[in-house]
Structure 1
């Protein structure tokens, strides 16, 4: 418990955590505004034969998080890499000699925070996007709640995965590069391929599984299986990070 309380205090007493949240919220609002206006424009400038349709406001949150997820990953990984950058990791390991407990404590603190972070960003994007879309937005409450919870789950899984990798890479730039590639770039590239094995590979990466989960895609994996893949990546990243921290000098 002392390790958890310590990690909680460290998380909220550094300026980078608050700057990250404010920046992500502003970016989310701008993206939600853009998506909402785009929906309204497309529905009022239809091509012959096209039909206008409403969109659930929660869909704006699901779309925006696929872009802002890198910022959320940065929030999580900085809890690890900042300690290596400042050298405070030595003090942390002296206070908590059992090293796997350090990884566990950070994960216990990060999990609910990341979930709440995801809910916040999804709510901002959904509300701003829905207001911008006007009459083309569908404000169904149950659908909105499901979308918010889905984004919260994905933000938690992606953030914990990034934190796990941070224990392995240790540097902010290196970890952010790995997270950016596996959460966004590589899955996006592979999913556009005409080769079926590459499409499957994209779906098995954390970013591809997240996109399938949030959009409800059933090909090649169902949302349920995609959620399982996300959990495996998060647990696997933290497990690998714990093993590396245990065997490697700080």
Structure 2
């Protein structure tokens, strides 16, 4: 029976051996850099002060997170599409161990990606905003970097769980986007605004902000400390992985 360490090594090799991984990582960086340049130029053009942290957060939510969704979803659904999932399950017959191995690969890669992109966005945005960029503290920088790193990592696990459950690339990507954007907007429109902050996308943004600061996506103050936002994202990811695990064991036994 394959050990967890061997399973992780195998999944690590598979993850980096496909071009889609590299293209998606590059796309995430390019989109973040593009948004940061545009955000900085807008601040400089308008002649008003602006926060590079807002540029970074908006860039992550509106641009960079979508290649992350693609990376994490394809990590499992591409195997169902090609039929290679059969070989993976023969190599790692313990279903939960396979899912754990994939999670162990995604988590650190996307954590580092989020941290790097947050730093990149603040540096690039600050360069183009010039003297109009608001001064920020070291603590604010660290919170933005750590929060974005955690959000991207947990978003990847959410996509992995949903992708395992649905086995369809298109279905999983659409489902994640609907969960991140459409469902909370509908919930808010129905008057349940208190719940919006606990959906994974908006909770992820709140995880990059101190309590009381304006969330630049929904334009309302955060109602809890950043660790609650991260914990909310983690709860969604655990639920998705649990659903994927149950279906993997029952359907692909």
The answer (yes or no) to whether the contact 2:146–2:208 under 8 Å persists in 1 is: no
Corresponding residue number in structure 2 for 1:47: none
Q: Secondary structure at the match of 1:119?
A: helix
Question: 1:166 is matched with which residue: 163, 166, 175?
Answer: 163
* Long gaps (5+) in structure 1: 45-51
Q: Deviations over 1:136-159 (max 9, x none)?
A: 223644422221111101111111
Q: CA deviation at 1:59?
A: 3.1
1:186 lines up with 2:183 in the alignment: yes
State the 1:220 CA deviation. Answer: 6.8
Distance, in Å, in 2 between the alignment partners of 1:158 and 1:170 is: 17
Match of 2:146 among 143, 146, 149: 149
Q: What's the CA shift for 1:127?
A: 1.6
* Contact residue 62 and residue 215 of structure 1 kept, 8 A: no
Map of 1:49 onto structure 2:
none
Partners of 1:206 and 1:35 lie apart in 2 by: 24
Q: CA RMSD in A?
A: 1.9
The one of 215, 230, 235 aligned to 1:232: 235
Contact 2:147 2:204 in 1 (8 A): no
Q: CA deviation at 1:194?
A: 7.5
Contact 1:58/1:148, CA 8 A, preserved across alignment: no
1:84-136 Cα offsets, whole Å, 9 max, x none, are 11110000000000011000000011110110111122122222111110112
* Structure 2 residue aligned with 1:114: 110
Q: Could you state the TM-score of these two structures normalised by the residue count of structure 1?
A: 0.88
Q: Which is further off, 75-84 or 216-225?
A: 216-225
The corresponding residue for 1:245 is: 248
The two structures have a TM-score, normalised by structure 2, of: 0.87
Q: 1:217, CA displacement in angstroms? A: 5.3
User: Which of 22, 29, 33 lines up with 1:29 in the alignment?
Assistant: 33
Q: Which runs of 4 or more aligned residues in structure 1 lie more than 3 Å from their structure 2 counterparts after TM superposition?
A: 139-142, 188-191, 215-221
What is the CA distance between 1:7 and its match in structure 2? 0.5
| Residue 32 of structure 1, CA deviation | 0.7
Count of aligned pairs: 238
Superposed CA deviations along residues 223-248 of structure 1, whole A, max 9, x for unmatched, are: 33222211101111111111110000
Q: Tell me if structure 2 keeps the 8 A contact 1:206–1:230.
A: yes
> Is the Cα contact below 8 Å between 2:180 and 2:202 reproduced in 1?
yes
Distance apart, 1:63 and its partner CA: 1.8
The farther-off stretch of 136-145 and 10-19 is: 136-145
Unpaired runs of 5+ residues, structure 2, are 213-220
